[in-house]
Structure 1
Amino acid sequence: MKYKQAFAEILFEALDHEIPVKDLEVLIEKPKNQQHGDLAFPCFTLAKVKRKSPALIAHELSTKIQSATIEKVQVVGAYINIFLNKKLVSEDTVAEIIKQQENYGALDIGKNRPVTIDLSSPNIAKPFSMGHLRSTVIGNSLAFIVEKCGYKSIRINHIGDWGTQFGKLITAYKIWGEAEKVKLNPIKELLTLYVKFHDEAESNPSLVEQGRNWFKKLEDGDEEATSLWQWFRDESLKEFSRIYQLMNVQFDSFAGEAFYNDKMDRVVKLLEEKQLLIESDQAQVVELIDKELPPCLIKKSDGATLYATRDLAAALYRKENYDFDLSLYVVGNEQSLHFKQLMAVLEKMGYAWANNMVHIPFGMMLKDGKKMSTRKGKGRLIRGSTK
């Protein structure tokens, strides 16, 4: 801070060069209360040198402090408080901003080290919600901040493009869907089909079984199921891209949930090798009693992997591919427990970098005091609906 250094230089002259400028600058503080000035210098350190009381030193020293940039000098006990000339400081600041333009305030503390930011993450075939909008805005703002500090930001859009709802959606499309309607207005039509599936399933439970079967086909790589899933994903991303263009937000990666399908077996194997997996009610979990957290579910009783397994795979992938200095997750606060468990499991696996992962939560938006639901056509607001 130039004014802090300038104040130190004034003190250096007032003290007849007894104490180096750099040592004086270290002692200068910024008062917590604005009423105590813009900068403050405590005189306790000078007491041994001057062999006087700090309060007396402060009073004597204050009479020697003069500068056009200092509007007022105030002595409070052993402290010399100074108030900067707001007019001159404002003019100086504006001139500096005009001179440096977009480089104003830039720092180099990051040394171009990477920071991954998990943001936005809308769900395929569902409307872009207010929750996803908030994640996008907050995450993108954080990216600008870390870039300003000299880090390299990596914006990751962890698309919700996998889960049992795709089996339901494929079932609905096969029964009621029309290709032209989907092409004309993909998100609206796919959501209509998804809502219709749940409405009809209440009186026709066989639809749920058909949905499971189609998702099983998708998991097994069935050509028709994969083709429909890819189409739904592509059409959704086109709509999301339109929104991102309006917001002027770009991403470095659209690697969503499906991207980690072939990377989760490795996570399970690593947990087994580290003897962290235990059986609980026929499921595989990692106990986190020592972290005062409930067990983290890794595999269900039917062998299916889960949200946590996928995010463990994603964390490992991001560390290995980006070697992040810091990893940020901009996700609603209802996922706070999940991220505590995620980081705790990684720590138990021996990865010290888990301490460099940070969940940045934000509140949920409600409608009429209630959580929104895509199944009822009201639009879910958060990442995590497909996990």
Structure 2
Amino acid sequence: MPESVMVAYQDFVALCQSSDSEARGQAAHMAARAYLCHEGPADEHAALYAALIGFLDDPSVKVRAALAYGLLHATNAPRPVLLALLQDSAVIARAVAQYSPALVDADLIGLIRSGDAAILLAIALRERVSPRVALALIGRGERGVTLKLLSRREIGIAEDALTRLAEGPGLEDAELRGALLARGDLPAGARLLLVEHVAALLGGLRVVKGAIAPQRLERLMRDLTDSAATSIGEATAGEGTAYADTLIARQRISIRVLLHAVVNGHVMFFADCIAALGEMPRSKVFGLLERGSRTAIAAMLGRCGLEPEVSALLARLVLMAREADLADDVAARHFVVTALTEEILIEHCNAVPAALEEAFSYLSEQNVGLALKAARGVMAGFAGHRGGDALPLPSGEMRLALSAA
């Protein structure tokens, strides 16, 4: 021990026996520091340990707090003393639970089972929280503690626990829902569930329903949820077909979703869906999508349970998608959807078969939306290019309103 902080044993004993709690607190802190850095004889170390135990019975919370403070950040602090301090007054117990690195997961989990909300929050604020401890904390169902854990992205939380939160309180609690969506490790299926729930809530708002016609609102929300489903699938592609399997189990994969995936360039998600539906190796699906003939692609899609007309339509779309950048080029999407829609009408002489009605309806909806996106800014750019040229207008009287208006 450095000479500047050396204290004679008799002086130390005098401090321990003082009637002044400040003096005893000084002795408790001194004993804790001496124990942690001790390198002397074993009997001296044992005496210091006994002194620490003795301070646990001191009637003054100041003394016990000084003891805790002396041991608080030490990895070699004696666990029996720490465990006793965890049963002390609330302020001492919270400090030890939050800061002591000497506590192991078993200590913390035992404390979680019986601790109040303040103790649980202290544990959630520890520098390091293991996935096992995080799971135990979430299991207590304390909203504030759960929100704190979710906000700490460095803490690993089991996917099952995140999914249970999304399927339970996340559906009703907007703040909890936002915390879940902000986590990159939220399972894709749970993310889609929350996004769909948000879409339903938005669609039910009075201000939204009052501003958008019912049929248009329904189409808009359906398109947004389809976009969410395929975007999430594309972002998680390469991690297996678990997300696609989840959508299949929820009967969430339809011809609309498959078309939406290809039209928006989410080819990896589309391949995952086909692999899961057809129970085929993902590599084989990719090979056929990249190099297969129209007949081979249609046969693969037929294996997924799709009707022949739908399989042929999707195969034709896949071939078109090979020649265009559908992921980033809105004009290319518009061109492909327009061409495909016209081919359906020509091939069936304007009598769209029942098997293609859903697909044709989707393509028609997309055609309008994509045309609007592609047209934005075109006239402004054209006007800037033509400079002062006049806009050609027919001569004679101009009608500025509908006759029935």
Q: Under a length normalisation based on structure 1, what TM-score does the superposition of the two structures give?
A: 0.22
Which structure's residues are more often helix, by fraction?
2
Computing the radius of gyration over CA atoms, which structure comes out larger, 1 or 2?
A: 2
TM-score normalised by L of structure 2:
0.21
Q: Which has the higher strand share?
A: 1
